[in-house]
Amino acid sequence: MRISKYIIALCCFSAFICHAQHNKTTIDAKLDYQNKELKIQQKITYHNVSKVTLDTLYFHNWAASYKNRHTPLSKRLIEDYDKSLYFAKSNLRGGTIIKNISSNYVSDKWFIDKNEPDIIKVILNKPLKSHDSVVLSLTYITKVPSSIFTEYGQKDNTYNLRYWYITPAVFDGEWQTMSNLNMDDLYMQPSAYNIKFSIPQGVHFNTDLKYTKSTNPPFTTYHLKGKNRIDIELNFNVINDFIEFETSPKIITNLNGTSLSNSLKTDIVTRELAFIEEHIGKYPHDKLLVNSISYSKNPIYGLNQLPKMFNPFSGAFEWDIKMFKALTRKYLENTIIVNRRKDAWILDGIQNFLMIKYVEQYYPEIKALGNISKIWGVRSFNVAKLGFNDKYPFVYQFAARKNYDQALTTRADSLSNFNRKIVNKYKAGLGLQYLDEYLNDSIVFKSIKQFYSESLNKETNSNLFQSIITEKSDKDLSWFFGDYINTKKKIDYTIKKIKQTKDSVEITIKNRRNITVPIALYGINKKEITFRKWLTDIDSTTTISIPKGDYDRLSLNYEYLYPELNLRDNWKNLKGLLNKPIQFRFFKDVENPYYNQVFYNFYAGYNLYDGLILGPSLYNEAIFKKKWLYKITPTYGTNSGKITGAASFVYQHIPEETSVYRYRIGISASNFHYDKNLSYVRISPFASVEFKRKSLRDVGGSALSARYVIVNKEIPKFAPKLESDNYNILNLRYGYTKPDIIQDLRYNVDFQLAEKFSKLALDFRYRKLTDTHRQYDFRLYFGTFLSNKTESDFFSFSLDRPSDYLFDYNFLGRSEKSGFLSQQIIIAEGGFKSMFDNPYANQWMLSTNNSMSIWSWIEAYADAGFYKNKNNQALFRYDSGIRLNFVHNFFEVYFPIQSSLGFEPSRPNYASKIRFVITLAPEKLIGLIRRGFF
């Protein structure tokens, strides 16, 4: 018996020792303020807690990720449309010079892959057995990068250091190495730290480690100690903007920005910490550093990002909610050690769940628009009625309707920025909120608290949380940890029909999608909830019966407790004749599922012949995507004095598990003037297939389209009938775009078939930013007639200005032969800027358009090409000049210098030779702005 007890005690002690074998890190660092360098001597006592012998160790050296334009970090920033590191001068970049690496005082071989310079491979001179340890000594110099790249680094006299030292990678059966991708997610093992850090005397030092200091002019040396730490973040500055709150733990932060008193801020932080501790557990360290950078990189997206003069929220609420988000994030990251690149959803879910509950408890009355929701003219909008917490399902639904969402278990480095920063975090938080409502009895909070306790200061993963919450509930949760977490399947249930009997109501509920989850059925009486009932296992169509009661409506997901794709078909009216009456709303708004909404706003446009084009625009497209869309815009032209307008009707379908992003089919029609007192009618049925990008982190895409364009033009009295008056053209097109910030590639192939001609054209465009930050634009155009029986040049290729017989381009004066508006250019067909007397080709045309930046938006351009007419030899033309490229493809000006016509400035009326590009299309500008986000 004694032997058995001894063996059990020995096993427990051995397990404790293995668990307690945390690494130890000793660092002696000195800051060279002038050269912006850290001179570091470091010792790492590495414990092999695995069951295998290791002959190779891997280390992370994220300071080296700033060394050049070829690092994974630089490439990642380019993907995010940030070229700061790619074109940075050497004095702004960072890097590491490693002098020596040894183990147990014997030099080791170490290697760095040029494609991953922030990962070090060290081959030990002696294999490291399971549960043994080795002492590694490192000597290196780290160049601190500018903060313009990731916000961490140095700027002026301020240093914000994160991931500034070399640290072992985690080995859990395989090495979990990862490069710095500006995601602040380094997976680290807990370690005991003993750091000696010397900085110039007079510089302030901020840390959440315990420390003592000594001064030996001209340096002050700080002696830092900490146990079970993973991420040592430091701040040095000459003018200290950090404040300390005497709370438990003590909070050190520079997240300021409001005029609140420090005593009020202390009260707020005390309340926040009490809330977090109640629902998670006690923080294991005495101090917690919350740098404003962590918030600025992961802010609360919404109107509280507006300038202070427009801020619709009170200073107390704004600071409280910002601080709560930053605080909970650091609280969780410092204590629950998960691989956030592979298993990000669990921390995202806990943080956003806490955010939801915190606002629910302390700010239930706050609206998403804040005080703006009270303004007359705004308060009637549905968006003004959204509560602050309603933004979570709102944003998820926005992404899901566009099929931009991704599974919660998708690797974080494969998520689009929109999903990584917002959508997946929201869906994870909503998922825990969903479970909380479904399970009741505070099971979710209890599970989070146990997960925190069992995970504290050691590597863990979301599987532990799954096992904890599954044990606490007798309900089946396989749907949550299956489809909800691991797929992007969308929830969408509908009340298909109801049948009333004398004492009951039969409800037929249909599952429109391929995911089966618990759903909530409500009885509603004048917007008051009279009952709520959870229904499970509805995988297709089910009919249930409920007693009649004090309710006049039945609704699914009335409180939006779970993220659902479509709420418009979630309810039935038991008494009214119209289930959904028509509602007119000014401007685009959030959908109201209880009405068939028609939106309207004011349209304004311009062309020379109609003048100002004014009128209402009626449409049904809300903020979220719909399948059936219509838009009707009757207008009046101030110059023409005529009624004009446009209309379109579209059906679109967005499949999920295919290579196709969207199918569209529809018809459009327009009626405007193409010349003075001469109108045209254009009708075009169309269909298109848009293909998916390889991933949501890619930009651009490809599409195949077909349309049949019918044009009927009004002609002057007594004018002879021409082939250009009325015509029908079948147009097939394939287009491809990949607008990277460094290399922009686009091309399209266009085929047209009409009664008298058929033609084929290729338009190829390539733009590159060179290593010297110069922009080079290249365009190649080739067009040829396959057959041509036309009698004029109306359908011919043009060198300098296409006739635009398909009415695709927004020419302000499309029929002008002279004057300012005749100088408008749209780069199509030949793309020449100089204007020639005979620019048309009725057989074929080959041209190139080139430009190279000289300084900023000033560029030199040159065009060259051949074109051929029937029964004539091919002609060669060229031109060149200066291009002012203010906003690419939106606002540009061309000044011709030399061409086949001669020296252009010496020719008469040079001002009439200047060409300009102007694009009045707000939706294209919005697309330009959002690139790199989703």
Strand-pair category, 23-32 with 106-107: unpaired
- Give yes or no for residue 227 having a pLDDT over 50: yes
Strands (E), 424-501: 458-459, 493-500
Local confidence band at 11 (pLDDT 50, 70, 90 cut-offs): very low
Contacts of range 625-628, beta carbons closer than 8 Å, 24 or more positions apart: 625/401, 625/402, 625/652, 625/654, 627/651, 627/652, 627/653
Q: Please give the pLDDT value at position 166.
A: 98
- Give yes or no for residue 899 having a pLDDT over 60: yes
Eight-state DSSP code of residue 420:
I
Local confidence band at 376 (pLDDT 50, 70, 90 cut-offs): confident
How far apart are alpha carbons 347 and 333 in whole angstroms?
A: 8
pLDDT in tens, 725-771: 999 999 999 999 999 999 999 999 999 999 999 999 999 999 999 98
Q: Are 529 and 558 in contact (CB under 8 A)?
A: yes
Residue predicted with more confidence, 934 or 624: 624
Q: Please give the pLDDT value at position 923.
A: 60
φ, ψ dihedrals at 359, nearest 5°: -65, -40
The residue-averaged pLDDT of 658-679 equals 96
Local confidence band at 848 (pLDDT 50, 70, 90 cut-offs): very high
Which residue reads 């049925």 in tokens? Answer: 685
φ, ψ dihedrals at 725, nearest 5°: -80, -50
CB atoms within 10 A of CB 114: 8
- Give yes or no for residue 777 having a pLDDT over 90: yes
Local confidence band at 327 (pLDDT 50, 70, 90 cut-offs): very high
Q: Are 713 and 702 in contact (CB under 8 A)?
A: no
How far apart are alpha carbons 645 and 642 in whole angstroms?
A: 10
Q: Are 190 and 229 in contact (CB under 8 A)?
A: yes
Residue predicted with more confidence, 332 or 571: 332
pTM: 0.92
CB under 8 Å to 385, separation ≥6 — which residues? 367, 373
Q: Please give the pLDDT value at position 574.
A: 86
- Give yes or no for residue 39 having a pLDDT over 60: yes
- Give yes or no for residue 49 having a pLDDT over 70: yes
Segment among 1-15, 205-219, 601-615, 868-882 with least mean pLDDT:
1-15
How far apart are alpha carbons 813 and 676 in whole angstroms?
A: 10
CB atoms within 10 A of CB 927: 11
C-alpha dihedral sign at 169, 172, 174, 180: negative
- Give yes or no for residue 354 having a pLDDT over 50: yes
Query: What is the share, in percent, of the chain residues with pLDDT greater than 90?
Result: 84
- Give yes or no for residue 123 having a pLDDT over 50: yes
Q: Please give the pLDDT value at position 925.
A: 60
Q: Please give the pLDDT value at position 930.
A: 57
How far apart are alpha carbons 607 and 824 in whole angstroms?
A: 12
Q: Angle formed by the axes of helices 424-439 and 443-455, to 10°?
A: 120
CB under 8 Å to 558, separation ≥6 — which residues? 520, 522, 524, 529, 532, 570, 571
Q: Angle formed by the axes of helices 262-279 and 443-455, to 10°?
A: 90
Q: Please give the pLDDT value at position 4.
A: 42
Work out the burial of residue 771: count CB atoms within 10 Å of its CB; fewer than 13 is exposed, 13-18 middle, 19 or more buried: exposed
> What is the residue-wise DSSP string for 67-100?
SSTTSHHHHHHHHTT--TTTT--TTT--EEEEEE
The residue-averaged pLDDT of 174-199 equals 98
Q: Please give the pLDDT value at position 589.
A: 84
How far apart are alpha carbons 652 and 627 in whole angstroms?
A: 5
Segment among 11-25, 338-352, 683-697 with least mean pLDDT:
11-25
